[in-house]
A and B are shown apart, each in its own frame.
Chain A
Protein backbone atom coordinates (compact mmCIF):
# COMPACT_ATOMS: atom_id res chain seq x y z
CA UNK A 1 0.00 0.00 0.00
CA UNK A 2 1.44 3.33 -1.11
CA UNK A 3 1.11 6.40 1.12
CA UNK A 4 1.48 9.90 -0.35
CA UNK A 5 2.10 12.82 2.01
CA UNK A 6 1.67 16.50 1.28
CA UNK A 7 2.95 19.11 1.40
CA UNK A 8 6.66 18.66 1.60
CA UNK A 9 8.27 20.69 2.85
CA UNK A 10 5.94 22.85 4.88
CA UNK A 11 7.06 26.29 6.04
CA UNK A 12 5.31 27.65 9.10
CA UNK A 13 5.73 29.97 12.05
CA UNK A 14 5.39 29.43 15.78
CA UNK A 15 1.71 29.62 16.69
CA UNK A 16 0.46 28.55 13.26
CA UNK A 17 -2.15 25.86 12.76
CA UNK A 18 -0.53 23.20 10.59
CA UNK A 19 -2.18 20.40 8.63
CA UNK A 20 -0.38 17.51 6.94
CA UNK A 21 -2.24 15.10 4.70
CA UNK A 22 -1.64 11.44 3.90
CA UNK A 23 -3.42 9.59 1.10
CA UNK A 24 -3.42 5.81 0.80
CA UNK A 25 -3.49 3.96 -2.52
CA UNK A 26 -6.36 1.82 -1.24
CA UNK A 27 -8.75 1.88 1.70
CA UNK A 28 -7.03 1.16 5.01
CA UNK A 29 -9.98 1.84 7.33
CA UNK A 30 -8.42 3.61 10.34
CA UNK A 31 -5.13 1.69 10.35
CA UNK A 32 -3.00 4.79 10.13
CA UNK A 33 -0.32 6.12 12.48
CA UNK A 34 1.66 9.35 12.63
CA UNK A 35 5.27 9.71 13.80
CA UNK A 36 7.55 12.66 14.47
CA UNK A 37 11.27 12.40 13.81
CA UNK A 38 14.01 14.84 14.75
CA UNK A 39 17.54 14.71 13.28
CA UNK A 40 19.67 11.88 14.64
CA UNK A 41 16.78 10.34 16.61
CA UNK A 42 14.40 7.45 16.20
CA UNK A 43 10.79 8.37 15.34
CA UNK A 44 8.22 9.06 18.06
CA UNK A 45 4.67 7.73 17.85
CA UNK A 46 2.17 10.60 18.03
CA UNK A 47 -1.16 9.26 16.79
CA UNK A 48 -2.36 5.69 16.29
CA UNK A 49 -5.49 4.29 14.70
CA UNK A 50 -5.93 7.57 12.79
CA UNK A 51 -7.14 9.65 15.73
CA UNK A 52 -5.96 8.23 19.07
CA UNK A 53 -3.37 10.32 20.90
CA UNK A 54 -0.39 8.32 22.17
CA UNK A 55 0.24 8.65 25.90
CA UNK A 56 2.41 11.64 26.76
CA UNK A 57 1.88 13.45 23.45
CA UNK A 58 0.65 17.05 23.79
CA UNK A 59 -3.01 17.65 22.99
CA UNK A 60 -2.14 20.19 20.27
CA UNK A 61 -1.56 17.14 18.04
CA UNK A 62 -4.65 15.51 16.56
CA UNK A 63 -5.44 13.13 13.74
CA UNK A 64 -8.49 12.42 11.63
CA UNK A 65 -9.64 10.47 8.61
CA UNK A 66 -10.54 6.99 7.46
CA UNK A 67 -10.47 5.01 4.27
CA UNK A 68 -7.88 6.68 2.04
CA UNK A 69 -7.57 10.26 3.33
CA UNK A 70 -6.01 11.27 6.64
CA UNK A 71 -4.76 14.43 8.30
CA UNK A 72 -2.42 15.33 11.13
CA UNK A 73 -3.09 18.72 12.68
CA UNK A 74 -0.92 20.73 15.05
CA UNK A 75 -3.21 23.37 16.52
CA UNK A 76 -0.51 25.84 17.55
CA UNK A 77 3.01 25.09 16.33
CA UNK A 78 5.67 25.17 19.03
CA UNK A 79 9.45 25.52 18.54
CA UNK A 80 9.99 21.85 19.44
CA UNK A 81 7.56 20.76 16.70
CA UNK A 82 9.92 21.60 13.84
CA UNK A 83 10.69 18.09 12.61
CA UNK A 84 9.78 15.56 9.94
CA UNK A 85 6.44 13.78 10.17
CA UNK A 86 5.63 10.37 8.70
CA UNK A 87 2.36 8.52 8.28
CA UNK A 88 2.33 4.71 8.41
CA UNK A 89 -0.31 2.17 7.45
CA UNK A 90 -0.75 -0.96 9.54
CA UNK A 91 -3.63 -2.41 7.51
CA UNK A 92 -1.52 -5.22 6.13
CA UNK A 93 2.01 -6.64 5.85
CA UNK A 94 4.32 -5.02 4.94
CA UNK A 95 3.54 -1.92 6.96
CA UNK A 96 4.54 1.06 4.86
CA UNK A 97 5.41 4.70 5.50
CA UNK A 98 4.73 7.89 3.63
CA UNK A 99 7.63 9.87 2.22
CA UNK A 100 7.64 12.35 5.10
CA UNK A 101 6.74 16.01 5.57
CA UNK A 102 9.45 18.30 6.88
CA UNK A 103 8.03 21.18 8.90
CA UNK A 104 10.44 24.09 8.56
CA UNK A 105 10.68 27.50 10.16
CA UNK A 106 9.19 30.21 7.94
Chain B
Protein backbone atom coordinates (compact mmCIF):
# COMPACT_ATOMS: atom_id res chain seq x y z
CA UNK B 1 0.00 0.00 0.00
CA UNK B 2 1.32 3.40 -0.97
CA UNK B 3 1.95 5.66 2.01
CA UNK B 4 3.36 9.16 2.30
CA UNK B 5 4.05 10.56 5.76
CA UNK B 6 5.10 14.17 6.22
CA UNK B 7 6.92 15.51 9.27
CA UNK B 8 8.92 18.51 10.42
CA UNK B 9 6.20 21.14 10.67
CA UNK B 10 5.83 23.46 13.63
CA UNK B 11 5.76 27.03 14.89
CA UNK B 12 8.54 29.23 13.54
CA UNK B 13 9.22 32.96 13.66
CA UNK B 14 9.26 35.07 10.49
CA UNK B 15 12.66 34.89 8.85
CA UNK B 16 13.34 31.45 10.30
CA UNK B 17 14.03 28.12 8.62
CA UNK B 18 12.36 24.73 8.69
CA UNK B 19 12.98 21.42 6.93
CA UNK B 20 10.04 19.23 6.02
CA UNK B 21 10.40 15.52 5.31
CA UNK B 22 8.17 13.03 3.52
CA UNK B 23 8.74 9.32 4.08
CA UNK B 24 7.49 7.15 1.23
CA UNK B 25 6.65 3.46 1.29
CA UNK B 26 4.72 0.87 -0.69
CA UNK B 27 6.12 1.76 -4.11
CA UNK B 28 9.44 2.15 -5.94
CA UNK B 29 10.15 5.71 -4.83
CA UNK B 30 13.11 6.19 -7.15
CA UNK B 31 10.94 5.88 -10.27
CA UNK B 32 8.36 8.56 -9.45
CA UNK B 33 8.43 12.33 -9.53
CA UNK B 34 7.30 14.09 -6.36
CA UNK B 35 5.76 17.42 -5.43
CA UNK B 36 4.96 19.65 -2.48
CA UNK B 37 1.54 21.31 -2.33
CA UNK B 38 0.31 23.59 0.44
CA UNK B 39 -3.03 24.74 1.77
CA UNK B 40 -3.62 27.67 4.07
CA UNK B 41 -6.32 27.21 6.70
CA UNK B 42 -9.73 27.32 5.04
CA UNK B 43 -8.21 28.09 1.64
CA UNK B 44 -7.51 26.29 -1.61
CA UNK B 45 -4.55 24.29 -2.83
CA UNK B 46 -1.29 25.85 -4.02
CA UNK B 47 1.44 23.88 -5.77
CA UNK B 48 4.87 24.63 -4.30
CA UNK B 49 7.56 22.55 -5.99
CA UNK B 50 8.32 19.58 -8.27
CA UNK B 51 11.29 17.23 -8.44
CA UNK B 52 11.84 14.53 -11.04
CA UNK B 53 12.70 10.95 -10.12
CA UNK B 54 16.44 11.54 -10.58
CA UNK B 55 16.44 15.11 -9.22
CA UNK B 56 17.46 16.25 -12.70
CA UNK B 57 14.48 18.59 -13.12
CA UNK B 58 13.20 20.90 -10.41
CA UNK B 59 10.54 23.62 -10.50
CA UNK B 60 9.26 26.10 -7.93
CA UNK B 61 6.27 28.38 -7.58
CA UNK B 62 7.24 32.04 -7.94
CA UNK B 63 6.03 32.62 -4.36
CA UNK B 64 8.81 30.41 -2.92
CA UNK B 65 11.57 30.63 -5.54
CA UNK B 66 14.91 31.53 -3.97
CA UNK B 67 13.70 30.68 -0.47
CA UNK B 68 12.67 27.00 -0.66
CA UNK B 69 14.74 24.03 -1.86
CA UNK B 70 13.29 20.65 -2.78
CA UNK B 71 15.45 17.52 -2.64
CA UNK B 72 15.13 13.77 -2.38
CA UNK B 73 17.09 10.75 -1.17
CA UNK B 74 16.12 7.75 -3.27
CA UNK B 75 18.23 5.39 -1.16
CA UNK B 76 16.10 6.27 1.87
CA UNK B 77 12.76 6.81 0.10
CA UNK B 78 12.53 10.37 1.35
CA UNK B 79 11.53 13.76 0.00
CA UNK B 80 12.50 17.06 1.60
CA UNK B 81 11.61 20.73 1.52
CA UNK B 82 14.08 23.18 3.02
CA UNK B 83 12.25 26.40 3.78
CA UNK B 84 14.27 29.55 4.52
CA UNK B 85 13.32 33.19 5.08
CA UNK B 86 9.85 32.12 6.12
CA UNK B 87 7.01 34.65 5.91
CA UNK B 88 3.59 34.86 7.52
CA UNK B 89 2.02 33.90 4.19
CA UNK B 90 3.90 30.58 4.19
CA UNK B 91 1.64 29.41 7.03
CA UNK B 92 -0.17 26.34 5.70
CA UNK B 93 -0.51 22.58 5.78
CA UNK B 94 2.18 21.15 3.50
CA UNK B 95 1.44 17.95 1.59
CA UNK B 96 3.80 15.75 -0.36
CA UNK B 97 2.18 14.26 -3.43
CA UNK B 98 3.32 11.64 -5.94
CA UNK B 99 3.22 12.35 -9.66
CA UNK B 100 1.83 9.62 -11.87
CA UNK B 101 3.94 7.73 -14.36
CA UNK B 102 2.36 9.57 -17.33
CA UNK B 103 2.11 13.09 -15.93
CA UNK B 104 4.28 15.11 -13.60
CA UNK B 105 1.35 16.98 -12.15
CA UNK B 106 -1.31 14.29 -11.81
CA UNK B 107 -1.06 13.67 -8.07
CA UNK B 108 -2.34 10.17 -7.37
CA UNK B 109 -1.24 9.83 -3.74
CA UNK B 110 -1.00 12.46 -1.03
CA UNK B 111 0.19 12.44 2.55
CA UNK B 112 -1.86 13.63 5.51
CA UNK B 113 0.07 16.90 5.67
CA UNK B 114 2.23 18.72 8.20
CA UNK B 115 1.29 22.13 9.58
CA UNK B 116 3.74 25.02 9.34
CA UNK B 117 2.86 28.14 11.32
CA UNK B 118 4.95 31.26 10.79
CA UNK B 119 4.26 33.75 13.55
CA UNK B 120 6.06 35.92 16.06
A interface residues, Cβ below 8 angstroms from B: 33, 35, 40-45, 48-49, 54, 86, 88, 90, 93-100
Contacts and interface: CB of A to CB of B under 8 A. Distances in A.
B80 to A, nearest CB: 18
Given A42-B95, A42-B113, A94 B47 contact: yes
A97 to B, nearest CB: 4
Given A41-B112, A42-B113, A96 B107 contact: no
Contact of A42 (B46, B47, B112): B112
Given A48-B100, A90-B103, A100 B111 contact: no
Interface string B89-102: 00000010100100
Contacts of B103: 48-49, 90
14 contacts: A35-B45, A42-B97, A42-B111, A43-B45, A43-B107, A44-B110, A45-B106, A45-B107, A90-B104, A94-B61, A95-B105, A97-B47, A98-B44, A100-B45
B105 A90 contact: yes
A45 B108 contact: yes
B59 A97 contact: no
Contacts of A41: 112
Contact of B46 (A33, A35, A90, A97): A97
A97 B39 CA distance: 11
Contacts of B104: 90
Contacts of A97: 44-47
A42 B61 contact: no
Contacts of B112: 40-42
Interface hub of B107, B108, B111, B113 (most chain A Cβ within 10 A):
B107
A83 B104 CA distance: 25
Interface in B31-60: 44-47, 50, 59
